[in-house]
Amino acid sequence: MPFYQGVVKNVEVRDSNGKLLHINGKYFRPFVTTSGIQGRFILRVDNTGKFISLNKS
């Protein structure tokens, strides 16, 4: 709930290998529906780990 209210900046997600990631929630905003955020996503980062894109797969 705090994410949806805009109070929390980062969200925790788990990648397909089980690694826990903290990603700025603003990248997920286009994917928020009335039932929340669901599905699988492809996160692209550069060599330094800087965000490039997030797309629903």
Round to whole Å and give the CA distance between 48 and 37.
27
At 1-57, the pLDDT tens digits run 565 666 678 888 999 999 999 999 889 889 988 888 889 999 999 999 999 999 999
Q: Say if residues 22 and 10 touch (Cβ distance below 8 Å).
A: yes
pTM, whole model, 2 decimals? Answer: 0.74
pLDDT score recorded for residue 33? 85
Give the residue extent of every domain in the chain: 10-56
pLDDT score recorded for residue 34? 85
